């Protein structure tokens, strides 16, 4: 397939999927609370579309190696979410997101110095999430956001357009700023960034932070999805591996939702 065609196809897919998920997640968080918004925001939208492009361009062995890097970088996303959640309590969206991204790039730069294997990347995730999950607990709450200003008919289309433009800028820039961003783009927290850029000005930093704090546990499923891709791709091929990775992530989020629902039913009964 023509590389230029693959690039533009992948760019359009990323823009559409990311914009759709961010809009759905932001509306869900406003109406149903931070937990549901977190489950949606933590889905492998941008990463999934990036892996589809990788599968079109490369053999299964390439995905096997890429999945290890994504698994390690998943730990950096957890750190990003914690830093944002802490800063958003008292600071504006620009400072909170900007500082969290600086930390993310710093962590990723450090990770680049290590030769990761699937077991070591899995241990890294276990160690990081063992810290970030309890550290985020103080920022997790289930309160619905305060009523926001009434939406206009242009509100949601403008959200989607803004997110799509961010995705296009990041994806296009990666082809000029080197292999570092290109290699980590699959797990760059573009969905989370776009999500809080939309949500925090509407409902405040505490609610936006609660969504990313709730996203810590769903990130376990995302990491397990990458681990599944790593082990399944050499045996079943790229496409079956991607399907399995997505199924693992969705199953984990579904299990979290069912567990929460059962807990709420017991509490109400």
Please give the radius of gyration of the chain, using alpha carbons only, rounded to the nearest integer: 18
Q: Report d(CA 162, CA 159) in Å as an integer.
A: 5
Residue that wins the pLDDT comparison between 229 and 39: 229
Owner of token pair 């932001």: 26
- DSSP SS3 for 97: helix
Residue that wins the pLDDT comparison between 203 and 93: 93
**What's the pLDDT tens digit per position in 139-183?**
987 665 544 444 556 556 666 666 566 556 655 654 554 434 444
Read off the pLDDT of each residue in 46-67 and give the average, rounded to a whole number.
Answer: 77
pLDDT attached to residue 181: 45
Distances (CA, A) of 208 to 14, 97, 204: 23, 11, 6
177: exposed, middle or buried (Cβ count in 10 Å: 0-12, 13-18, 19+): exposed
Q: pLDDT band at 220, cuts 50/70/90?
A: very high
Check whether 269 has a pLDDT greater than 90.
no
Exposure string over 188-206, b if 16+ CB within 10 A, otherwise e: bbbbbbbbbbbbbebbbbb
The answer to which of 18-27, 61-70, 259-268 has the lowest mean pLDDT is 18-27
Question: What tokens does 61 get?
Answer: 């062995």
pLDDT attached to residue 191: 75
* Domain ranges for the chain: 3-140+153-268
Alpha helices for the chain (secondary structure H)? 3-32, 34-41, 45-57, 60-87, 93-111, 118-136, 155-173, 179-184, 190-203, 205-214, 218-236, 238-268
CB count within 10 Å of CB 259 equals 10
Among 7-11, 29-33, 89-93, 125-129, top mean pLDDT goes to 125-129
**What's the pLDDT tens digit per position in 87-103?**
999 999 999 999 999 99
């Amino acid at each position: 397939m023509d590389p230029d065609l693959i690039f533009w196809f992948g760019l359009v897919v990323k823009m559409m999927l990311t914009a759709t998920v961010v809009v759905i997640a932001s509306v869900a968080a406003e109406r149903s609370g931070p937990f549901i918004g977190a489950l949606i925001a933590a889905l492998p939208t941008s990463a999934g579309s990036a892996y589809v492009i990788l599968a079109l361009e490369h053999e299964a062995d390439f995905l096997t190696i890429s999945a290890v890097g994504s698994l390690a970088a998943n730990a950096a996303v957890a750190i990003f979410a914690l830093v944002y959640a802490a800063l958003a309590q008292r600071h504006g969206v620009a400072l909170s997101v900007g500082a969290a991204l600086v930390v993310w790039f710093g962590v990723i730069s450090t990770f680049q110095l290590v030769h990761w294997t699937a077991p070591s990347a899995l241990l890294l995730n276990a160690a990081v999430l063992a810290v970030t999950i309890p550290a985020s607990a103080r920022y997790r709450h289930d309160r619905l956001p305060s009523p926001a200003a009434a939406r206009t008919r242009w509100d949601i289309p403008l959200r989607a357009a803004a997110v799509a433009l961010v995705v296009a800028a990041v994806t296009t820039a990666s082809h000029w700023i080197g292999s570092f961003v290109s290699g980590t783009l699959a797990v760059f927290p573009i969905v989370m960034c776009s999500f809080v850029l939309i949500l925090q000005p509407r409902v405040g930093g505490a609610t936006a932070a609660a969504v990313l704090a709730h996203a810590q546990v769903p990130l376990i499923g995302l990491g397990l999805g990458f681990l599944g891709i790593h082990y399944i791709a050499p045996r079943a091929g790229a496409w079956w591996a991607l399907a399995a990775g997505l199924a693992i992530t969705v199953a984990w989020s579904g299990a979290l939702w069912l567990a929460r629902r059962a807990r709420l039913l017991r509490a109400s009964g």
